[in-house]
């Protein structure tokens, strides 16, 4: 996997993937400690972190089905939402592979009868796999079509 040294590098990678899959993409940027979601301790009106850096956070939405949104945090991780299923703490370097896996048809839903439950399984290159529990009531048509 390619090392993404910044939030903007990850946004650029997502723009390229959206182009590959002919998806519409919208991006919203929050720059500065006073604007990012994880910097409440920075104080009011303070734009930089204690070390003088300027944190950058972005929210990316990809159009079409499945619905995918990505919140890229300044702490080198992301929260990816696929059809309402939140996948937290994805390393920033894994975000492009994760999105490509979902759009490329590699992601699937695994169901279990007892106790009943469904999981979104997203395999990545290099034997890395992410698994998130899906609430029973939120199986969208896209998720339901991928049940194994």
- Chunked into runs of 10 residues, the chain (148 residues) has average pLDDT values of 85 96 92 54 51 73 96 90 95 96 97 87 95 85 92
Q: Which pTM does this prediction carry? A: 0.85
List the strands of the sheet with 117-124, edge to edge.
108-112, 117-124, 128-134
CA 133 to chain CA centroid, nearest Å: 15
Please say whether the beta carbons of 4 and 13 come within 8 A: yes
The count of other CB atoms within 10 Å of the CB of residue 97 is 23
Q: How far apart are CA 22 and CA 16, in angstroms?
A: 10
DSSP 44: T
Please say whether the beta carbons of 94 and 128 come within 8 A: yes
Please say whether the beta carbons of 87 and 105 come within 8 A: no
DSSP 118: E
pLDDT for residue 40: 47
pLDDT for residue 16: 97
Please say whether the beta carbons of 104 and 90 come within 8 A: no
């Amino acid at each position: 996997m390619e090392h993404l040294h910044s939030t903007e590098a990850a946004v650029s990678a997502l723009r390229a993937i959206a182009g590959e899959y002919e998806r519409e993409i919208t991006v919203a940027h929050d720059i500065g400690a006073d604007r990012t979601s994880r910097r409440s301790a920075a104080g009011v009106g303070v734009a930089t972190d204690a070390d003088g850096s300027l944190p950058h956070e972005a929210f990316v939405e990809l159009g079409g089905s499945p619905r995918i949104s990505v919140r890229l945090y300044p702490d080198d991780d992301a929260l990816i939402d696929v059809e309402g299923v939140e996948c937290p703490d994805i390393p920033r370097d894994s975000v492009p592979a994760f999105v490509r896996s979902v759009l490329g048809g590699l992601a699937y839903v695994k169901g279990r009868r007892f106790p009943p439950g469904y999981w979104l399984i997203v395999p990545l290159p290099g034997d890395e796999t992410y698994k998130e529990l899906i609430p029973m009531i939120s199986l969208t048509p896209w998720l339901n079509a991928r049940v194994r």
